[in-house]
């Protein structure tokens, strides 16, 4: 979805060459393809991400293409330049939110631990003219807690609501786009309505934080740093746009790789950057220790919901989760049993091919899971092509991913249930966990397309 990646992705997209009527030329379709292995799974060189397929210009409208073109370094630099030219009273306040899965990338690239890398990144962003830099673990905590609550509700109504289970996670925009554009009503009623961490962070910044700073939301320009290009698509969804104020919850998504490219372009020396602590949404002073959620390098929705459901529904404390690998490392399941009876069965399904297998089984009514954590990137969020691609053709840099996994796992785990800031915000910002305000700002809806699929698509 970047200017560099679109042409290459179009040339290599297996779905376009094999399944779309709007095919690439015969020369490209018949060329010899390399084989590549990602996380123990063999792929043709032509097989790219689910999201790469859905984001070629065969599926993007002109309006979407225009909106995504504004999700760029050039746009951020334009806003920064305007701040320098205009009167202070007309300045936009720039806020940057950094996804936890992006920090390991900078840690590896800088040769530092995650905390120090975060401080250096903060210093660089502020040197550009960004006033506030936040870590988004807090927003992910909201998303996890709301997903846990929704799963319990769905489980309890499973016998009289055919759409209650399985519940699919909703944090991956590539998966969401595939569900809405292609799968439709087969899947969309099953998607968890909790907003992704990115969009909850957008609400935190544009609603709560802007009020705390006595700023109008349209005067806040919110940049989100993520490992994945598809987060740009998520940011431009119409439900995340306030037409009255003419502002988005997230104004611009930049990938980790784009930020690093900017640093290289400006010949920034990491050693010469100061160490500047991240800011706090609640405005506290002092450096808060960075933490992570459980899981394999994403946000750990499966593990959090599994442990919560075991306790809430069956009174069982689960301390360690054992994954059973099925097709490959990116298709695993976990099971809760008592006295030989299976109480819960969840699955983690990553990557387009595994998603296709899941959907095929669902069509045949053979999905035994109550919850499926679905991510379009093989390997999960750390492997997002906005930071883990080794070249413009999108090949995975496996050595880099391994280093990022090691860096990410070095962070201490903190359960969102015991985070006092979340409890404070539930009361001060949302007027309680079950309030109408919480339902509006922490949840969204997913839709089936008006037409079952674009006329040129043969899925």
HEC secondary structure over the chain = CCCCHHHHHHHHCHHHHHCCCCCCCHHHHHCCCCEEEECCEEEECCCCCHHHHHCCCCCCCHHHHHHHHCCCHHHHHHHHHHHHHCCHHHCCEEEEEECCCCHHHHHHHHCCCHHHHHHHHHHHHHHHCCCEEEECHHHHHHHHHHHHHHHHHHHHCCCCCCCCCCEECCCCHHHHHHHHHHHHHHCHHHECCECCHHHHHHHHHHHHHHHHCCCCHHHEEEEEEECCCHHHHHHCCHHHEECCCCEECCCEEEEHHHHHHHHHHCCCCHHHCCCCCCCCCCCCCCCCCCCECCCCCCCCHHHHHHHHHHHHHHCCCCCCCCCEEEEECCEEEEEEEECCEEEEEEEEEECHHHHHHHHHHHHCCCCCCCEEEEECCCCCHHHCCCCCECCCCCCECHHHHHHHHHHHHCCCECCHHHCHHHHHHHHHCCCCCCCHHHHHHHECCCCCCCCCCCCCCCC
Residues 266 and 321 in one domain: no
Whether residue 149 lies inside any domain: the answer is: yes
Provide the pLDDT for residue 288: 67
Whether residue 8 lies inside any domain: the answer is: no
Query: Mean pLDDT throughout 356-365?
Result: 90
Whether residue 284 lies inside any domain: the answer is: yes
268: Cβ contacts below 8 Å, ≥ 6 apart: 124
Q: Sort strands 93-98 and 220-226 into parallel, antiparallel or unpaired.
A: parallel
Q: How confident is the model at residue 112 (pLDDT cuts 50, 70, 90)?
A: very high
Provide the pLDDT for residue 88: 65
More confident residue, 60 or 242: 242
pTM of the model: 0.85
Provide the pLDDT for residue 87: 63
Q: How confident is the model at residue 71 (pLDDT cuts 50, 70, 90)?
A: confident
Residues 228 and 174 in one domain: no
The least confident of 6-20, 162-176, 200-214, 241-255 is: 6-20
Domain termination residue (choose one: 291, 320, 350): 291
Residues 213 and 171 in one domain: no
Residues 249 and 166 in one domain: no
Domain termination residue (choose one: 291, 315, 347): 291
Residue closest to 302 by CA, chosen among 318, 288, 286: 318
Residues 113 and 179 in one domain: no
Residues 123 and 108 in one domain: yes
Domain termination residue (choose one: 242, 264, 291): 291
Query: For the chain, what is the mean pLDDT?
Result: 82
Residues 270 and 169 in one domain: no
Kindly report the number of other CB atoms within 10 A of residue 161's CB atom. 12
Whether residue 427 lies inside any domain: the answer is: no
Residues 312 and 181 in one domain: yes
Whether residue 51 lies inside any domain: the answer is: no
Residues 235 and 368 in one domain: no
Whether residue 37 lies inside any domain: the answer is: no
Provide the pLDDT for residue 59: 60
Query: Mean pLDDT throughout 364-385?
Result: 90
The least confident of 41-50, 364-373, 380-389 is: 41-50
Whether residue 410 lies inside any domain: the answer is: yes
Q: Calculate what percentage of the chain has a pLDDT beyond 90.
A: 54
Going from the C-alpha of 65 to that of each of 56, 59, 182, 233, 375, the distances in angstroms are 10, 10, 19, 9, 23
Query: Mean pLDDT throughout 246-261?
Result: 92
The least confident of 8-17, 133-142, 303-312 is: 8-17
Residues 206 and 232 in one domain: yes
Residues 252 and 322 in one domain: no
Q: pLDDT tens digits, residue range 326-353? A: 878 899 999 999 999 999 999 999 988 8
Residues 229 and 299 in one domain: no
Q: Identify the domain containing residue 276 by its residue range.
A: 68-139+196-291
Q: pLDDT tens digits, residue range 189-242? A: 999 999 999 999 999 999 999 999 999 999 999 999 999 888 998 998 888 888
Q: What's the CATH number where 183 sits?
A: 3.40.950.10
Q: What's the CATH number where 82 sits?
A: 3.40.50.1780
pLDDT at residue 115 greater than cutoff 80: yes
The least confident of 38-52, 257-271, 305-319 is: 38-52
In angstroms, rounded to a whole number, what is the distance separating the alpha carbons of residues 311 and 316? Answer: 5
Q: pLDDT tens digits, residue range 392-419? A: 666 788 899 999 999 999 999 889 999 9
Provide the pLDDT for residue 188: 93
Whether residue 11 lies inside any domain: the answer is: no
Looking at the 3D structure of the chain, how many domains does it have?
2
């Amino acid at each position: 979805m970047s200017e560099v990646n679109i042409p290459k992705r179009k040339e290599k997209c297996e779905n376009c060459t094999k399944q779309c009527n709007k095919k690439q030329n015969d020369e490209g379709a018949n060329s010899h393809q390399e084989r590549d292995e990602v996380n123990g799974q063999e792929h043709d060189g032509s097989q790219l991400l689910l999201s790469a397929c859905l984001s070629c210009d065969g599926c993007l409208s002109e309006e979407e293409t225009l909106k995504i073109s504004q999700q760029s370094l050039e746009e951020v630099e334009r806003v920064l330049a305007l701040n320098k030219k205009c009167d202070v009273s007309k300045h936009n306040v720039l806020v940057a939110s950094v996804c936890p899965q992006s920090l390991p990338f900078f840690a590896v690239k800088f040769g530092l631990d995650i905390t120090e890398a975060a401080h250096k990144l903060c210093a660089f962003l502020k040197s550009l003219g960004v006033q506030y830099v936040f870590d988004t673990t807090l927003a992910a905590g909201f998303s996890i807690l709301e997903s846990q609550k929704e799963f319990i509700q769905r489980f309890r109504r499973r016998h009289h609501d055919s759409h209650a289970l399985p519940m699919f996670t909703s944090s991956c925009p590539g998966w969401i786009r595939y569900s809405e554009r292609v799968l439709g009503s087969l899947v969309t009623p099953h998607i968890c309505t909790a907003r992704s961490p990115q969009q909850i962070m957008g609400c935190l910044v544009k609603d709560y934080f802007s009020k705390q700073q006595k700023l109008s939301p349209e005067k806040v320009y919110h940049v989100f740093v993520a490992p994945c290009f598809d987060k740009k698509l998520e940011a431009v969804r119409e439900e995340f746009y306030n037409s009255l104020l003419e502002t988005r919850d997230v104004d611009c998504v930049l990938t980790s790789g784009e930020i690093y490219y900017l640093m290289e372009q400006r010949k920034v020396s990491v050693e010469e950057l100061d160490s500047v602590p991240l800011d706090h949404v609640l405005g506290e002073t002092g450096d808060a220790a960075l933490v992570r959620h459980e899981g394999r390098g994403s946000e750990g929705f499966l593990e959090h919901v599994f442990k919560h459901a075991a306790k809430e529904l069956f009174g069982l404390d689960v301390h360690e989760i054992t994954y059973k690998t099925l097709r490959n490392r990116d298709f695993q399941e976990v099971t809760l049993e008592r006295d030989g009876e299976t109480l819960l069965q969840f699955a983690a399904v990553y990557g387009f091919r595994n998603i296709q297998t899941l959907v095929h089984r669902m069509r045949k009514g053979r999905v035994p899971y109550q919850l499926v954590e679905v991510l379009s990137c093989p390997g999960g969020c750390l492997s997002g092509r906005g930071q883990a691609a080794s070249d413009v053709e999108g090949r995975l840099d496996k050595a880099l991913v391994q280093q990022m996994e090691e860096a990410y796992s070095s962070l201490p785990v903190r359960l969102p249930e015991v985070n006092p800031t979340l409890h404070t915000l539930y009361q001060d910002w949302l007027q309680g966990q079950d309030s109408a305000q919480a339902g509006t700002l922490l949840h969204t809806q997913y839709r089936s397309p008006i037409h079952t699929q674009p006329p040129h698509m043969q899925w």
